[in-house]
Amino acid sequence: MFNNATILITGGTGSFGRNFTKIILQYNIKKLIIFSRDELKQYNMRKEFTDSRLRFFIGDVRDKERLLRAFDGVDYVVHSAALKQVPSCEYNPFEAIKTNVLGAQNVIEACIDKGVKKVIALSTDKSSQPINLYGATKLCSDKLFIASNSYASGKNTKFSVVRYGNVIGSRGSVVPLFLEQEKTGVFSITDPRMTRFWITLDEAVNFVLKNFQRMQGGEMFIPKIPSMKIIDLARAINSKCEQKIVGIRPGEKLHESMISVDDAKNTLECYDYYIVQPEFKWWNSEKYTNENDGSKVHSNFSYTSDNNKIFLTPKELKEIIKGLLL
């Protein structure tokens, strides 16, 4: 489906965007447009990737006119741009809303107006039962993208959402923090009971690409990924370091959720992923139950980082960390 296609990714100079670029350039695409607001990151990315199919657009998702220009002739869009740091969003709430909510609206309207075929917006585990502003803005963004399939009625544009957990080794994740703290001999542990979902960048990108093929428009796709205990991660990096318990930070959860009990009635379980279906009357779930062996989950089902069936062991975490450092 990507043969001779033009693809655009918002927030394309971030961790996901760089890895997406590395993988999508292996396909026979016509053009990949990197849309972001940081000229220095674009400059650095140009040096890293010299493929002639790459285009770089300076712009902000808050600027609808710039989006309309950038989306001209685009077939597929990945919406990855967002303000993502929890403390930053708490201290700058209006800015978080302008980028994460109003920016999502701008992307949606520009995609419809320019006839983009398919759009996938990236979500986060923090948008399920949110307790901080970042999670709340991303939940609002998720709802906007899902509802936009009705908003785009009569047009060919389809919107879906992919939600996954923390990306191993990405900017702002706990791994770079622990590697830095290792030099001091002391790890700051918020709570020894804390758990998190984990996914690699390659897994996240490939899951997004697969769902461009699966999507009808309106669904939220959630991969089955492992959980890990924060305290096991610290031990995997250096078991000799002291562990200092500092307490959970404002807006932080003890365990993360990707599917709440309230979403269970609309959730299908497939082999290696879940689908949260929209509640639109026109939605056809038979495609998933028949073609993908999707089955309804039980009414009190939830998918959280502490009730996950798959947990990474300290040994497995150590191997993952070693791979990141190579």
Residue 232 lies in a domain: no
Tell me: pLDDT of 15 over 80.
Answer: yes
User: What is each CA distance from 202 to 18, 49, 167, 219, 273, in whole angstroms?
Assistant: 11, 17, 10, 22, 16
Question: CA-to-CA distance for 56 and 59, rounded, in angstroms?
Answer: 10
The answer to the question of residue 128 being in a domain is yes
Is 47 catalytic? The answer is no
**What would the mean pLDDT of 39-52 be, rounded to a whole number?**
95
How many residues are listed for the chain in this entry? 326
pLDDT number for residue 140: 98
**Integer Cα distance of 19 and 279 in angstroms:** 33
Q: What is the pLDDT of residue 177?
A: 85
What phi and psi, each to the nearest 5 degrees, are found at residue 250? -55, 135
**What's the total number of domains in the chain?**
1
Separation between Cα atoms, residue 115 and residue 72, nearest integer Å = 8
Residue carrying structure tokens 């950038």:
70
CATH number at residue 144: 3.40.50.720
For residue 287, the model assigns a pLDDT of: 66
Residue 141 in any domain: the answer is yes
Domain range enclosing 270: 6-165+199-224+260-303
Q: Specify if 100 maps to a domain.
A: yes
Q: Is the residue at 235 inside a domain? A: no
- Report the C-alpha gap between 17 and 205 in whole angstroms: 9
Least confident of 16-25, 78-87, 162-171: 162-171
In a domain, 72, yes or no: yes
**CA angle 160–149–71, rounded 5-degree value:** 75
Determine the pLDDT at residue 158. 96
The whole-chain average pLDDT of the chain stands at 92
Distance between CA 70 and CA 94 in Å, rounded? 25
Per-residue pLDDT reduced to its tens digit, 248-286:
888 889 999 999 999 999 999 998 999 999 988 677 666
The answer to whether residue 311 sits within a structural domain is: no
Residues 171-221: tens digit of each pLDDT: 667 888 888 899 999 999 999 999 999 998 999 999 999 999 999 999 999
Bridge partners (DSSP) listed for residue 196? 228
Q: Categorize the per-residue pLDDT at 32 as very low, low, confident or very high, splitting at 50, 70 and 90.
A: very high
Say which of 84, 118, 126, 138 is annotated catalytic. Answer: 126
- pLDDT value of position 133: 95
Q: What is the pLDDT of residue 169?
A: 67
> 284 in a domain, yes or no?
yes
Q: Residue 326: its pLDDT value, please?
A: 60
**Kind of pairing between the strands at 220-223 and 273-276:** antiparallel
